Amino acid sequence: MSDTLADCIEVLAPQLTAWRRDFHRYPEQGWTEFRTAAIIAERLDDLGWTVTAGAEVVDAAARMGVPDEATLSAAFERARAAGVSEAWLDRFAGGLTGVVAMLDSGRPGPTLGIRVDLDALPIQEARDAVHRPAGEGFVSCHAGSMHACGHDGHAAIGLGLAEVLAADRDRLVGRVKLIFQPAEEGVRGAAALAEAGVVDDVDRFVAVHLGLGCPSGTVVCGCDGFLATSKLDVRFDGRSAHAGGQPEAGRNALLAAAFAVTGLHAIAPHSLGASRLNVGRLQAGTARNAIADRAELQIETRGTTTAIDDYVRARAVQVIQGAADAQQVTAEITCVGRAVECLASPDWVARIVEVVAGLPGIEQVIDRDRQPRGSEDATTLMARVQARGGWATYMIVGSDLAAGHHQPDFDIDESRLPVAVRILAEIALAADS
């Protein structure tokens, strides 16, 4: 343990809160994190990190669930109007909102990759004064967008880590790579970073999240509960006709969607593991007396393993195609998000447990947590690191929450920000071989 580091983080604590509140106030959804990314890139550059950004770290073609052009450019202009660095902002044009920064100690040692995420959710934030962001003046000023998962805190943790590691550079070995990932919500972003090769030189990898059901004072060093998942948008196109005058001329997209929904929920489970399928949205038709020529579904599949998710997804595609054929309509299926299975590397978790135990602000260290959770596309980066012989884990820094994740009155415990920076800095400083 380092007194210098502890002092440095104590001094930094108010700044961590200020960053978090600033990001909270200006939430940006996946692939539109223009302001957030520009602020981060500029700060890291000032601190002496080697910053790569935009097309250097995001494979544009591997992005999933990218908003339409109008949404991207409106968000881009909004960031420009907010007065961020134009030079950095331009690097993110078109929604290439990733930032990766490297600090090379110049001494031999492993490359440690630390991943935080940046994006907000399509949620209207609570406005009543008991909701602290509203009561204390940092509530979202972007209607319909909110940091309701803690990624504002994650971005602040990343900046704080950049600060303390730059100050403690003389004690580092190897290299530290800070990865600021866009579009985690909807599991849309990690594949684009993986395809750009962002973690291909990473020997040790940590992704981190606040909260996730763990109270303040706990730390999970290896979270294994994430499900593999696929997010599919389906569009049925048929032919409209007068429902009374000439119904036989129509090709009913609504009916295809309805049959598909029934069939999707009847997909047999798999004997090798649990699965999930949900149709979360169905939209079809225009008028009571017209055969519907258009229907859209938003569905997701999940599995305890990638193979189970692939099984459910393949069956889902067959069901959708069958329903379309039966109504003589076409079905177009687009994958708008995906995450694979991944378990934390045991040796890495064991080492992190040793580093974390006894740090201030931590009362309980949990080595592995296998509780079933949602999905997280950090697994895509973890799996890539492991496939190349590296070690990877997903950590949870517990945080008391005002309300559950993705709720309008969600709020984190800001006292956890310096704790998270301390944990990650100690892991970086403990790196040897």
- Residue (149 or 339) nearer to Zn ion, CB: 149
DSSP, collapsed to helix, strand or coil, labels residue 224 as: coil
Is the CB of residue 395 less than 8 Å from the CB of residue 210?
A: no
Q: Which residues contact 188 (CB under 8 A, 6 or more apart)?
A: 30, 31, 63, 64, 65, 66, 231, 336, 337, 377
Rounded least distance, CB 190 to Zn ion, Å: 12
Q: How do 391-397 and 204-210 pair as beta strands?
A: parallel
DSSP of 233-294:
EEEEE-B--BTTT-GGG-B-HHHHHHHHHHHHTTPPPBTTB-EEEEEEEEEE-S-TTB---E
Q: Tell me which amino acid residue 130 is.
A: V
Binding positions for Zn ion, 43-82, rule CB under 5 A: none
For Zn ion, which is the closer residue by CB, 91 or 154?
154
Q: Does residue 210 bind Zn ion (CB under 5 A)?
A: no
Size of the site for Zn ion (CB under 5 A): 1
The separation between CA 313 and the C-alpha centre of its own chain, rounded to angstroms, equals 21
Least separation in angstroms between CB 210 and Zn ion:
8
Q: Taking the complex as a whole, how short is the minimal distance between the CB of residue 149 and Zn ion, in angstroms?
A: 3
Closer residue to Zn ion in complex, CB, 149/312: 149
Q: Which residue is nearest to Zn ion (CB)?
A: 149
Closest approach of Zn ion to the CB of residue 116, in Å: 10
Nearer to Zn ion, 8 or 118 (CB): 118
Smallest distance, Å, CB 148 to Zn ion? 9
Cα dihedral 261, 267, 269, 274 sign:
negative
> Closest separation between CB of residue 306 and Zn ion, Å?
20
Q: How far is the CB of 315 from Zn ion (least distance, A)?
A: 29
Helix 253-264 vs helix 306-326: crossing angle, to nearest 10: 150
Cβ proximity to Zn ion, 341 vs 377, nearer residue: 377
Helix (H, G, I), strand (E, B) or coil at 25: helix
Residues 80/72, Cβ–Cβ less than 8 Å: no
Nearest CB to Zn ion, comparing residues 188 and 351:
188
3-state SS of 27-75? Answer: CCECCCCHHHHHHHHHHHHHCCCEEEEHHHCCCHHHCCCCCCHHHHHHH
Of the candidates 101, 104, 117, the residue with the CA atom closest to the CA atom of residue 50: 101
Which residues in the 102-161 window bind Zn ion by CB under 5 A?
A: 149
CB 395 within 8 A of CB 221: yes
Residue 338 parent element (H or E):
strand 330-339
Q: Which is nearer to Zn ion, 360 or 404 (CB)?
A: 404
Please give the torsion angle defined by the CA atoms of residues 185, 186, 190 and 192, in that order, rounded to the nearest 10 degrees: -120
Smaller CB distance to Zn ion: residue 149 or 202? 149
Q: How far apart are CB 236 and Zn ion at their closest, in Å?
A: 32
Which lies closer to Zn ion via its Cβ, residue 149 or residue 206? Answer: 149
CB of 220 to Zn ion, least distance (A): 14
- Residues of this chain that bind Zn ion (CB under 5 A): 149
